[in-house]
């Protein structure tokens, strides 16, 4: 099989290679003094004249040519009196003096719609008259796999080809008639005549598609897209290439419900209206904007500052390297700004938004969104719903809005804003973080990563969770829950009735003011109830448990535990003193011997009760006095 050609190789073949293979010379009109080429279309029917005018407009839009219709002798003459479709020339060296184009008025069964093979034939034959040959060494008929010069020879790249998109087995594209010169044709015709001037149809702000401002065959197609009817459109499969010279330009396919894949990069193809590979972007063409339809669409931007709109459906939008604005619209969309300083808006639906590099603005808007800032100093706004906001690298600003939001913090320069009625919110931080820096409106904090970092609560009822390293967690005011994780942590409950869990590791746990519940978990932990009526649970390991003031209930759990009772600790209970494994440490009472302490103890209903006076008492449940011999120590 032949090899694939580059766009330039294939364009050179149209202007030179074909004529050499055909045994003749390359040719084109001499437009060095004037770009005007006169054309006589008097020999055509009214429909034929319309198709010829469409063809002239199409070639004018991509080359520095000005066709002028005349009723006298023209440099190009159209007629329809003979059968078939062909072009003859009168040349002088490499200069075309005159060209005669015949297209039978019953060509293609007399079909004359602007999206028909007949219209494509007018484009094709006028291309010949201007100096383009076929895309391969064939004329009249050809078989793919036998006659092609380039393996990628098809209508997808050139309307001068003899192979439709389906006949070429290497092309991933739907079979469709072309409504414009294609990528290779545009390069070839500009090699002969140059690019169109500043007054061309696409020099300004051009709309390709719905609500278009273009004329000709492609204008008829776009009118049909807009209004759903056009007498010149037969609703046949279509293909075209966008060549645009300047301005702020838009591809609008918003009236289609089929899933679309729109690629705005030059020389790339898009899938629109249920077809594959049917819209190309010419080399050097820059489109700024794209509007998708109601399907589940994919839009890929280019290096310009794009505005991309997904509209309805579950869309994926990728901005490219410019400073882009992306609107997801309705549906659960995936929006990626990529490079540049982008503005990304989710719209309705559960959207996922990635800022990428640059200083981006991300707006979740409605529903439950996930926002990832990426590199740069980003601004993330969750809106309504339960959102996740992750600033990424850089000093980011994050505002969750209403709903139960999650903030992911990794930079000391990150700033959070949360409203008073903003729901129940969580910070996941890989650096030390203080919730009180943001008032009382963020409730929970989870430390992430592997570094030894610290977390501090605020006046709300906080849930603070450590990571696997050695953390210091402080609940501060409010009824807090602190969970240390697997490191050797220090947890301070602060004011309020707190729940404190050391979990794994050798932890130091302090309740503070309030009726606290303290759980050591695994490891050799230190538990301090401090003030008020606390409950202490040592868990596994050799723990040290100190109830503190007021009336505490203390359980050592598994392991060789030490229970500390000091003067002024009021009335405490030890629920599981283990004879032979646990130790009782009495502090501040001035005892000289173990018997001094035992003299203050009695057995009552199967328990041992110490009465130290001044309101201090200690009850050891399910124990006899004799069991304590040798297990009481003093400090």
Which residues participate in catalysis according to the annotation? 125
DSSP 155-173: TTT-TT-S--TTTSTT---
| C-alpha dist (Å) from residue 203 to 100, 196, 577 | 31, 9, 90
Partnered with residue 298 across adjacent β-strands are: 261, 316
Which ranges constitute the DSSP H helices of 508-599? 594-598
Q: At what angle do helices 216-227 and 46-60 cross, to 10 degrees?
A: 100
Q: At CA 628, angle to CA 623 and CA 633, rounded to 5? A: 135
d(CA 31, CA 66): 10
Give the integer Cα–Cα distance in Å for 377 and 395. Answer: 5
Sign of CA dihedral 354, 359, 365, 367: positive
Please report, for residues 328, 371, 401, 403, the alpha-carbon distance to residue 366 in angstroms, rounded to integers and kept in the order given: 11, 12, 10, 10
C-alpha to C-alpha distance for 12 and 4, rounded to whole angstroms: 14
| Count of H-run helices and E-run strands, the chain | 7, 49
The H or E element spanning position 12 is helix 7-12
401/419 Cα distance (integer angstroms): 6
Q: What angle do CA 90, 93, 96 make, to 5 degrees?
A: 40
Q: How many residues does the chain have?
A: 635
C-alpha distances in angstroms, 473 versus 87, 465, 488, 517, 538?
Answer: 86, 8, 11, 16, 19
Q: Please answer whether residues 459 and 478 qualify as being in contact, where contact means their C-beta atoms are separated by less than 8 angstroms.
A: yes
Q: How far apart are CA 607 and CA 603, in angstroms?
A: 6
CA distance 523 to 420: 40
Residues 6 or more apart in contact with residue 414 via CB below 8 angstroms: 391, 395, 396, 397, 398
Burial class of 439 by CB neighbour count within 10 A (0 to 12, 13 to 18, 19+) = middle
The secondary element (H helix, E strand) that includes residue 509 is strand 508-510
CB 479 within 8 A of CB 463: no
Cβ atoms of 437 and 453 within 8 Å: the answer is: no
Residue 264 and residue 290 in contact, taking contact as beta carbons nearer than 8 Å: yes
306 Cβ neighbours under 8 A, 6+ residues apart: 264, 288, 289, 290, 319, 320, 322, 324, 325, 326
DSSP result, 224-245: HHHHS--TT-----EEEEE---
Q: Are 327 and 343 in contact (CB under 8 A)?
A: no
């Amino acid at each position: 099989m032949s090899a694939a050609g580059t766009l330039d190789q294939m364009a050179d073949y149209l202007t030179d290679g074909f004529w050499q293979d055909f045994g003749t010379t390359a040719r084109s009109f001499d437009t060095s003094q004037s770009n005007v080429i006169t054309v006589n279309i008097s020999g055509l029917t009214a429909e034929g004249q319309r198709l010829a005018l469409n063809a002239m407009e199409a070639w004018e839009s991509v080359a520095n040519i000005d066709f002028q219709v005349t009723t006298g002798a023209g440099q190009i003459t159209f007629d329809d009196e003979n059968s078939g479709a062909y072009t003859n020339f009168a040349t002088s060296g490499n200069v075309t003096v005159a060209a005669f184009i015949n297209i039978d008025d019953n060509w293609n069964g007399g079909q004359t719609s602007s999206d028909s093979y007949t219209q494509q034939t007018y484009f094709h034959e006028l291309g010949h008259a201007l100096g383009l040959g076929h895309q391969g060494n064939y004329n009249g008929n050809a078989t793919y796999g036998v006659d092609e010069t380039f393996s990628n020879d098809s209508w997808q790249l050139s309307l001068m080809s003899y192979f439709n998109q389906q006949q070429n087995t290497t092309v991933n594209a739907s079979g469709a008639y072309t409504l414009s010169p294609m990528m290779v044709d545009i390069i070839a015709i500009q090699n002969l005549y140059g690019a169109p001037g500043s007054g061309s149809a696409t020099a300004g702000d051009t709309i390709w598609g719905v609500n278009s401002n273009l004329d000709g065959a492609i204008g008829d197609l776009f009118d049909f897209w807009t209004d759903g009817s056009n007498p010149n459109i037969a609703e046949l499969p279509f293909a075209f290439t966008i060549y645009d010279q300047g301005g702020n330009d838009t591809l609008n396919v918003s009236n289609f419900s089929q899933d679309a894949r729109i690629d705005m990069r030059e020389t790339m193809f898009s899938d629109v209206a249920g077809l594959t590979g049917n819209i190309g972007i010419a080399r050097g063409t820059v489109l700024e904007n794209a509007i998708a339809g109601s399907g589940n669409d994919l839009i890929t931007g280019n290096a310009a500052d794009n505005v991309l709109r997904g509209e309805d459906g579950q869309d994926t939008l990728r901005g490219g390297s410019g400073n882009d604005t992306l609107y997801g619209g309705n549906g659960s969309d995936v929006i990626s700004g990529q490079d540049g300083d982008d503005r990304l808006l989710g719209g309705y639906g559960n959207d996922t938004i990635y800022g990428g590099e640059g200083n981006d603005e991300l707006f979740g808007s409605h529903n439950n969104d996930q926002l990832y800032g990426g590199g740069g100093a980003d601004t993330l706004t969750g809106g309504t719903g339960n959102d996740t906001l992750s600033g990424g690298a850089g000093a980011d600003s994050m505002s969750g809005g209403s709903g139960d939001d999650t903030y992911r913090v990794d930079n000391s320069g990150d700033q959070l804003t949360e409203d008073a009625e903003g729901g129940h919110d969580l910070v996941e931080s890989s650096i030390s973080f203080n919730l009180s820096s943001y008032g009382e409106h963020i409730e929970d904090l989870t430390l992430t990563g592997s570094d030894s970092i610290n977390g501090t609560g605020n006046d709300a009822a906080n849930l603070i969770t450590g990571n696997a390293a050695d953390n210091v967690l402080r609940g501060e005011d409010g009824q807090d829950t602190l969970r240390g994780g697997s490191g050797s942590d220090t947890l301070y409950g602060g004011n309020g009735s707190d729940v404190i869990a050391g979990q794994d590791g050798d932890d130091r746990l302090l309740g503070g003011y309030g009726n606290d519940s303290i759980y050591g978990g695994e490891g050799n932990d230190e538990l301090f109830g401090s003030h008020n009526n606390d409950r202490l649970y040592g868990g596994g390991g050799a723990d040290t448990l100190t109830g503190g003031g007021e009336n505490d209930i203390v359980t050592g759990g598994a392991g060789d535990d030490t229970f500390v009772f000091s003067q002024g600790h009021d009335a405490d209970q030890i629920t599981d003193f283990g004879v032979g494994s646990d130790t009782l440490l009495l502090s501040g009472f001035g005892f000289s011997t173990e018997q001094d302490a035992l003299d203050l103890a009695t057995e009552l209903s199967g328990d041992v009760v110490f009465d130290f006076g001044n309101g201090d008492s200690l009850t050891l449940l399910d124990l006899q006095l004799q069991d304590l011999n040798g297990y009481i120590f003093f400090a």
